[in-house]
Amino acid sequence: MKAYVLLNIGDIKLKDVADPVPVEKEVLVKIKACGICGSDIPRIFQDGTHKMPLIPGHEFSGEVAALGKGADRHFLHRRVGIFPLVPCRECAACRLEKYELCRNYSYLGSRRNGGFAEYAAVPVENLIELPDTVSFEAAAMLEPMAVAVHAMRRTKPRTEDKIAVCGLGTIGILLVMFLKEAGFKHVFVIGNKEFQKAAVLKTGVSEDCFFDSGQLRDACPKNRNKELGLWLMEKTDGMGADIFFECVGRNETIINAIDLTAVSGKVCLAGNPFSDIEVPRDTYWKILRNQLTVTGTWNSSFTGKADDDWHYALEKLSGGGIMPERLITQKLSLKELGEGLRIMRDKREDYIKIMGVE
């Protein structure tokens, strides 16, 4: 089969490799669509995967083409999405079915071969069956959708809450989609790119609930932060956000989140950190004096049961309440997927989600 193989840091090539053979309780998935995640770029070009050579890619969907020993025959030829984290099912977190917090996990696309290929071997317990109404492209976005759902559900928002979302990568926009679909009226969004603004306004956010920090790009951080603070305080009657989702992972935006969250409010840190995070003493005091809850969110829950994050996302997807296909800005063939990686690395074009399709 054809596959993109990461041979070493920065050295990824489209190669002919042997088809994977599913072992016990695995299936062979014919990959129909695979998205490039923002985390794939540093993984491929800066940090490497946990072992190399390895086939990256963890956002994918497809059709079950063959079964390994002991795999449920029900899945043969079924259309499926794939939860990429492979839990040990033995550690303390796994015993609580908090598989996303597994201490000894493997992971498709970073610790074992993933989806930048024609086929992948996948544990049968990591499959979620797709209804015919869900396209393979949409199903390949179930992973970031479930990550957004996990963040939302961790904060347990109330109907009356004033909610801020800072950062409009794929996760940030999907989070806004789910918040609006769930009926939350007071959602305020902070972004800095015009094409992201256009995408988020299609979710039902009104333009007066969007703060365009990109218009202040040339201003010093102090002035940008002041303008943002004045805007959000005006929108929240001087109280600040009841829930502030930080989806960037930069020092400045994390400090903003803490500064602009209301008394007894919640800060949810969802952005992967770009560097070390340093919290000034005055900001730390705000956590104490405002009795803020600062929480992290990681991955998504997948237990195979109807109440997990993946089934929640799939229900909204199949019902038409969420349309992630709107975020696919480039569709490429497998042979062109390397170009998609370079677009994201070099930021040569505007993009939200770049998708490889069969």
> Residue 95: enclosing H or E segment and its boundaries?
helix 92-95
Please compute the mean of the pLDDT values over residues 102-131 and round it to a whole number.
98
A 10 A CB-CB count for 336 gives 14
- Beta pairing partners, 354: 36, 330
**Rounded to the nearest 5°, which phi and psi values hold at 112?**
-145, 165
Domain boundaries of the chain, sorted by first residue: 2-140+323-357, 146-296
* Cis amide prior to 53 (ω within 30 degrees): yes
- CATH number of this structure's domain 2-140+323-357: 3.90.180.10
Examine the pLDDT at 216 and tell me if it is beyond 90.
no
Examine the pLDDT at 222 and tell me if it is beyond 90.
no
Q: How far is CA 76 from CA 26, 120, 159, in A?
A: 11, 14, 43
A 10 A CB-CB count for 257 gives 29
Model confidence band, residue 214 (pLDDT cutoffs 50, 70, 90): confident
Rounded mean pLDDT of the chain?
A: 96
Supply 159's token pair: 């109907």
pLDDT, tens only, 42-59:
999 999 999 999 999 999
Amino acid at position 254, single letter: I
Which residues lie closer than 8 Å to 282 by C-beta, 6 or more apart? none
Instruction: Give the Cα separation of 210 and 197 in Å (integer).
Output: 8
What is the predicted pLDDT for the residue at 327?
97
Please compute the mean of the pLDDT values over residues 254-266 and round it to a whole number.
97
A 10 A CB-CB count for 114 gives 28
What is the predicted pLDDT for the residue at 219?
74
Match domain 146-296 to its CATH number in 3.30.479.30, 1.10.3720.10, 3.40.50.720, 3.40.630.40.
3.40.50.720
Instruction: Give the Cα separation of 184 and 158 in Å (integer).
Output: 8
Mapped onto helix, strand or coil, the DSSP state of residue 107 is strand
Q: Identify which of 118, 34, 143, 128 has the alpha carbon closest to the alpha carbon of residue 79.
A: 128
Residues of the chain by 3-state class (helix, strand, coil), percent to 5: 35, 25, 40
Please compute the mean of the pLDDT values over residues 178-198 and round it to a whole number.
96
Q: Where are the alpha helices (DSSP H) in 156-240?
A: 170-181, 194-201, 221-235
What is the predicted pLDDT for the residue at 223?
80
What is the predicted pLDDT for the residue at 221?
75
Angle, vertex CA 174, rays to CA 45 and CA 295, nearest 5: 80
Q: Identify which of 220, 273, 213, 265 has the alpha carbon closest to the alpha carbon of residue 244.
A: 265
Instruction: Give the Cα separation of 40 and 160 in Å (integer).
Output: 37
What percent of the chain is modeled with pLDDT above 70? 100
Mapped onto helix, strand or coil, the DSSP state of residue 190 is strand
Instruction: Give the Cα separation of 277 and 230 in Å (integer).
Output: 24
Instruction: Give the Cα separation of 58 and 144 in Å (integer).
Output: 10
Q: Residue-wise over 221-233: b if at least 16 C-beta within 10 A, else e? A: eeebbeebeebbe
What is the predicted pLDDT for the residue at 224?
83
